[in-house]
Amino acid sequence: MSHEKQFYINGQWVEPKGDRTVDVINPATEEVVATIALGNEEDVNIAVAAARKAFDTYSQTSREERIALLERILEIYQRRSEEFAQAISLEMGAPAKLSKYAQAPSGTGHFAAALKALKEFEFEERIGNTLVVKEPVGVCGLITPWNWPINQLACKIAPALATGCTMVLKPSEVAPLSALLLAEVLDEAGVPAGVFNLVNGDGPTVGSTMSAHPDIDMMSFTGSTGAGRQVMKNGAETIKRVALELGGKSANILLDDANFEKTVAHGVMSCMNNSGQSCNAPTRLLVPNSRMDEVAAIAKAVAAKVKAGAPDAPDTTIGPVVSKAQWSKIQELITKGIEEGANLVVGGTGRPEGLDKGYYVQPTIFSHVTTDMTIAREEIFGPVLSIIGYENEEDAIRIANDTRYGLSGYVSSAELDRARNVARQIRTGMVHLNGAPLDNNAPFGGYKESGNGREWGHYGFEDFLEVKSIFGYYAEKK
């Protein structure tokens, strides 16, 4: 990476104002693969000033100009897709196949969805004699996580560009390489100077400076609920808009008429995917009490096929988790599950057999989990599944909603209408019926402590827009 110790500000690669750095660790080998600069308050101020100046002109660009810009970004991104896949595997340990076929393409998906939405979006509406206009919110502060790095970069940057906003980005310092690559793509595509700015740094320094900055109009944050709470507190002083996409503890309800062989297998693999590092992962598998042992046996057989290993190994199913700190947290929660009396079906503490280096976690499944156990309530963010029993459909809905989170949910039934009815009673921002996949054009986001606002598609535009009423706009001339 030629720019790893630089920031991208006002259309230029520039040197940081301070001298702090941090090593980027490959979680599969525990080796340093890059060293990036960490910004300070001065770096943020310079970037915000550039974004503020650029807003005056970029906010006035036409829909057609922004469409052309997104089309150029898409073309260049697709040309460099393999580089993104390699960077993501290197920085956060995703298996090569996952990086190539899911992680890197997520960027294409969000830029394409924003392009489609921009072509169709209604920025103006007439109500009587009033013109209601949706205008860009201003300078946006973007803070993104490490688990799906390009996915979260693209689903914030694309709508910001599409709606006429300017921005300052702080990607995760744990996985910053794909963000630096994306900055190169945006530069090559001709994003005007100051519209997009990147400052690497940590949360307490760069993140806090951004969220409290008086010249940042809106913060879009994806990460832990605790960190999101701090962003909201910091933003309160200036009454800035804060959009949050936070944690989850999603319930996967298998109704008694579901195909258990199929749905249990799908649920286990969905939980283990990306080493369990997805906020919307179905980490609570809710099944009839009478079929608990049957489900545990199916899940155990499926987990046996989940192979943790090096990202570049062809038979690897899941790679490592992202860091030593994350690995240690997961180990503590697995231990807590055992101590609190859950039945350990498979997995447990320590690395998988044959792996003595890297932050690898054993694919772990607990059965007979009760709702008061820590592993049933806390977001583990690793390849750990909790199987919880219910008595009837009403009990399943109650358990699904008995959480401070509300990001996603899953319902499987042989009768689609039955699944639909249950889905309407789950207090989450998203529900998947019978294994239905995500849709880049539909809104992504949650209830309760899973956040506020929505991302993706045309719904993702709303947080980046202010609404103005111009009364008398259509009044007859006198």
The set of catalytic residues is: 245, 279
Residue 174, token pair as written in the block: 């744990």
* Cα–Cα–Cα angle for 124, 69, 465, rounded to 5 degrees: 35
Pairing of strands 284-288, 384-390: parallel
SS3 category, 303: helix
d(CA 280, CA 430) in angstroms, rounded, equals: 9
Q: What is the DSSP code (8-state) at residue 68?
A: H
Contacts 24+ apart (CB under 8 A), 289-293: 289/389, 289/390, 289/391, 291/256, 291/260, 292/367, 292/368, 292/387, 292/389, 293/367
**C-beta of residue 115 within 8 angstroms of C-beta of residue 69:** no
Q: 410-447 burial string, b = 16+ CB within 10 Å, else e? A: bbbbeeeebbeebbebbebbbbbbbeeeeebbebbbbb
User: Which residue matches tokens 């049957």?
Assistant: 294
Residue 390, token pair as written in the block: 């219910």
**C-beta of residue 224 within 8 angstroms of C-beta of residue 407:** no
User: DSSP E strands: which ranges in 375-430?
Assistant: 384-390, 405-406, 409-412
End-to-end Cα separation, the chain, in angstroms: 64
Q: What is the DSSP code (8-state) at residue 163?
A: H
Handedness of CA 97, 98, 101, 104 (dihedral sign): negative
**C-beta of residue 321 within 8 angstroms of C-beta of residue 273:** no
